[in-house]
Amino acid sequence: MPKVKLLGNKSRKALHPYSRKAAQLTKEVHRVERVNRGKAERASTVITNAKKLRWFQQHLDPNATVYNKSQICQLIELYLERFNDELKEIANFKKLGRKLSSKVAREGNIQLILDQEKQQYGGSGFEVPDLTLKENLQKFREWNGDLKGLPNIIICKFSVKDKLDISNTVS
């Protein structure tokens, strides 16, 4: 087997800044930083998705065995309205003339999140668990919020078009 050289483990003696060894060391450090940044971003995305799925799990109808597309779209619209109370509270603070920087920053964050989610729902589709399948609905109800259990849940994209398609076929 070939020997593997670990550049970071060698003795630390003065290197010329333009030497090949210095370039290799900086390359290794930048790579490690890039890999760690990617891991952090992926972990953040998984945690955000888990919070979203937890919300959907808490708002499921306990009597429903299967959902149709229009019911899923109604759930998504309810999800998109989850910040309305907080936004009204912030608006009331503004009416009273109080300026709290934390509230203003929170309002900006909420607006950014809602804009992104509405754009997804109106465009390519909003990712939610596929509740049209009985087995997947059962798995989703049994899910305990563990991140390791997320791959067992089938995720589908639903958009406004799905709700419109259903209403056109019904009428």
Residue written as token pair 């597309």: 69
Residues 6 or more apart whose Cβ sits within 8 Å of residue 102: none
Task: Report the distance separating Cα 38 and Cα 156, nearest Å.
Answer: 24
User: What pLDDT was estimated at residue 4?
Assistant: 46
Q: Model confidence over 15-37: pLDDT tens digits?
A: 898 999 999 999 999 999 999 99
Write the CA distances from 78 to 18, 42, 74, 163, integer angstroms.
59, 27, 6, 14
User: What pLDDT was estimated at residue 167?
Assistant: 54
The ranges of the chain with pLDDT < 50 are 1-4, 170-171
